[in-house]
């Protein structure tokens, strides 16, 4: 059975969390909503409609959802050419691939945004699949995106890790029955990630890369 290393992208492999916060803040502002950036920061990692519901509540005018999502995409697109990979991200993907892991990106990004992130990572040669959360009925924190990504490579739950930077990532991994690894590069506190289900927490991809031999990944390798 193959081993699967599933990765969230925004805030985990690419330095885009705060760019998304600003794009969402401006989208809400243009629609007449005053939203605190701290609330938006903690909502990053949810799919567009779930983020809007989380921030505005279920009693919102749902007719605005599509326009808000479109505005966010348009605003974020102005950053596409400046997107950058986090330190050690590309090297981490290559290292895991070299150790026999099947690498899968788990993202809601598509089109130009996905292309920009792939350019920033420059690791297409070691990425086995890209799983889109738009292809499943429920996004994170539901387990569906993680389950879809794991099934793409045929890995067992006990041989799968999911690396992410948000509480939504950790909850999705825990509900999917796979090992959750948290990184602090998206700005969410260590305690929040651990409480949401992270079994290990690292500063970012470079830290995980440096400590790979002592990580849960190494321990899972020994189990096969």
Q: Report the CATH number at residue 106.
A: 3.40.50.1000
Q: Using the predicted structure, report yes or no on whether residue 56 has a pLDDT greater than 90.
A: yes
Same domain for 166 and 124: yes
CA 222 to chain centre: 27
Same domain for 104 and 69: no
Q: Using the predicted structure, report yes or no on whether residue 75 has a pLDDT greater than 70.
A: yes
Same domain for 164 and 92: yes
Q: Using the predicted structure, report yes or no on whether residue 133 has a pLDDT greater than 80.
A: no
Query: 13 with 205: CB under 8 angstroms?
Result: yes
| Last residue of one domain, picked from the residues 44, 78, 112 | 78
Q: Using the predicted structure, report yes or no on whether residue 127 has a pLDDT greater than 80.
A: yes
What pLDDT shows up at residue 93?
98
Same domain for 206 and 100: yes
What pLDDT shows up at residue 149?
96
Q: Using the predicted structure, report yes or no on whether residue 109 has a pLDDT greater than 70.
A: yes
Same domain for 145 and 126: yes
Same domain for 24 and 90: no
Same domain for 35 and 99: no
Lowest model confidence (mean pLDDT) among 11-15, 156-160, 220-224: 220-224
Q: Using the predicted structure, report yes or no on whether residue 134 has a pLDDT greater than 80.
A: no
What pLDDT shows up at residue 58?
87
Query: What band does 54 get if pLDDT is binned at 50, 70 and 90?
Result: very high
Q: Using the predicted structure, report yes or no on whether residue 199 has a pLDDT greater than 80.
A: yes
Average pLDDT over the chain, rounded to an integer: 95
Query: What band does 172 get if pLDDT is binned at 50, 70 and 90?
Result: very high
What pLDDT shows up at residue 224?
65
| Last residue of one domain, picked from the residues 26, 50, 78 | 78
Same domain for 170 and 119: yes
* pTM of the entire predicted model: 0.96
Q: Using the predicted structure, report yes or no on whether residue 108 has a pLDDT greater than 90.
A: no
Kindly give the interhelix angle for 144-153 and 167-176, rounded to the nearest 10 degrees.
60
Q: Using the predicted structure, report yes or no on whether residue 45 has a pLDDT greater than 70.
A: yes
Query: What band does 119 get if pLDDT is binned at 50, 70 and 90?
Result: very high
User: With pLDDT > 90 as the criterion, what percentage of the chain qualifies?
Assistant: 90
Give the containing element (helix H, strand E) for 144.
helix 144-153
CB burial of residue 54 (10 Å; 0-12, 13-18, 19+)? middle
Q: How many domains does the chain have?
A: 2
Half-sphere exposure of residue 60: CA atoms within 13 angstroms, side-chain side: 20
Range of the domain at 47: 17-78
């Amino acid at each position: 059975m193959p081993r699967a290393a599933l990765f969230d992208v925004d805030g985990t492999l690419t330095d885009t969390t705060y760019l998304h916060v600003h794009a969402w803040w401006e989208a809400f502002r243009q629609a007449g909503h005053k939203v605190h950036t701290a609330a938006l920061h903690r909502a990053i990692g949810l799919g567009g409609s779930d983020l809007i519901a989380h921030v505005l509540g279920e009693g919102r005018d749902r007719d605005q959802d599509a326009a808000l999502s479109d505005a966010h995409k348009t605003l974020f697109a102005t950053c596409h050419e400046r997107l950058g990979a986090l330190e050690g991200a590309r090297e981490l993907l290559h290292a895991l691939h070299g150790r026999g892991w099947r690498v899968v990106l788990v993202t809601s990004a598509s089109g130009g945004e996905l292309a920009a992130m792939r350019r920033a990572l420059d690791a297409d040669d070691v990425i086995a699949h890209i799983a889109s959360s738009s292809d499943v009925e429920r996004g994170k924190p539901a387990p569906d995106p993680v389950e879809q990504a794991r099934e793409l490579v045929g890995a067992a739950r006990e041989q799968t890790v999911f690396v992410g930077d948000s509480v939504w990532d950790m909850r999705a991994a825990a509900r999917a029955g796979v090992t959750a690894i948290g990184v602090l590069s998206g700005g969410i506190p260590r305690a929040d990630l651990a409480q949401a289900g992270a079994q290990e927490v690292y500063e970012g991809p470079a830290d995980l890369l440096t400590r790979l031999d002592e990580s849960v990944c190494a321990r899972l390798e020994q189990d096969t």
